[in-house]
Amino acid sequence: MARLGMVLYHGLESGAALESYARAAETAGYESLWVTERYFHEETFTLLGFLAAVTQRLKLGVGVTNPYTRHPALLAMASATLDRVSGGRFILGMGRSEPFIIRDRLGLDYRQPRTVLAEAVGNIRDLLAGNRVDTTGEQITMRDTRLAILPVQQPMPIYLAALGPRALRLAGTVADGVILNAYVPTGYVRYAVREIREAARQAGRHPETIDITCMLVVRLTPDAGALMPGLKQRLVRLLAEPHVGEILLAQGGFDTDILKPLRTAASHTGANTAQLISDDMVEAFYLIGDDATCRARIAEYRAAGVDAPLLLPRLEDYMQVADALRP
């Protein structure tokens, strides 16, 4: 059976609702269920503990947390605990987060994100293996630290979120798997997979052992045209981010010349920015259309190098998508 996962969006109203989403994914035959960490919404590890108790087979992933808001020792503790209570089904997904959250809103130090992430992965691996950690890294210090519990999985998988070339190469060097960003076209995926595999090869690792996942934003609809205006506005916000627009458009096969007028328009309230986004771009960045169209697009992502696509619908569409696109 082809590997396929589901991702829970935010807005959960109750434990009963959360259980129903989990059971729907498990019954439909999905391999994994992922929870995103979005600040000031539901707390991620609480949800995962609940999901571990109401499922038996699903792998459970966090996509993704970071080593700034949670010290690597705390991440190791949480990971070992979740892996034990789930019977060896947990996947730790990590990323560097963003400075406007970590520094500007939470007031935490945000320096050398790739160094912090690399050191955190090494420290967490050592702790989960039962090793004592006593180290002073460039960014992370840990003194005489050792876990009193160990995960079921040895080794327990650690995935890294990655978008740009340096992050992709870091993931290929140190991670068990990679979580490619939501809203990425298949052309970018092919580029990212090449970067990841080559970095693994240069690090002396077997490139094919690195699991490539990608969150795919799904809009299951018989009328894609009706959704186009809103989806175009979302792409404007994404592509306006520094460096993000350049890499996604260039590697996705689109003209980067739109970025300057797009960013200029996006900086002015009320400007009509959606006109700069074509329908073809929306169809490349989303899974949009009926179930046959969405299945065909999932196959395109697999062909581009994604080992395990992760479907990310709006919460109100979760049940319909889980049933219509089941493996």
CATH code: domain of residue 160: 3.20.20.30
Residue 214 shares a structural domain with residue 226: no
For residue 23, give every residue at least 6 positions away whose Cβ sits within 8 Å of its Cβ, in sequence order, or none: 54, 55
112, amino acid identity: Q
Query: Residue 145 has what pLDDT?
Result: 94
Q: Is the pLDDT of residue 28 over 90?
A: yes
pLDDT band at 87 (very low <50, low <70, confident <90, very high): very high
196-211 pLDDT, tens digit each = 999 999 999 999 999 9
Domain extent, residue 215, equals: 5-219+290-324
Query: Residue 309 has what pLDDT?
Result: 98
185: DSSP letter: -
pLDDT band at 55 (very low <50, low <70, confident <90, very high): very high
Average pLDDT over residues 250-275: 86
Cβ neighbours, 10 Å, residue 171 = 30
Residue 280 shares a structural domain with residue 301: no
Cβ neighbours, 10 Å, residue 323 = 13
Residue 170 shares a structural domain with residue 300: yes
Q: Is the pLDDT of residue 270 over 90?
A: no
The two three-digit tokens of residue 282, written as one number: 């929306």
Residue 77 shares a structural domain with residue 136: yes
Residue-averaged pLDDT of the chain: 94
Q: Residues of 26-51 as b/e, b for ≥16 C-beta within 10 angstroms?
A: bebebbbbbbbbeeeeeebbebbbbb
Residue 31 shares a structural domain with residue 171: yes
pLDDT higher at 198 or 237: 198
The Cα 73–Cα 120 span in angstroms is: 9
Query: Residue 277 has what pLDDT?
Result: 93
Residue 20 shares a structural domain with residue 154: yes
Residue 251 shares a structural domain with residue 209: no
**Among 184, 273, 291, 260, residue whose Cα is nearest residue 229:** 273
Residue 81 shares a structural domain with residue 208: yes
Residue 297 shares a structural domain with residue 160: yes
For residue 128, give every residue at least 6 positions away whose Cβ sits within 8 Å of its Cβ, in sequence order, or none: 76, 79, 80, 147, 150, 151, 154, 155, 156
Query: Residue 268 has what pLDDT?
Result: 76
Question: Model-level pTM?
Answer: 0.96
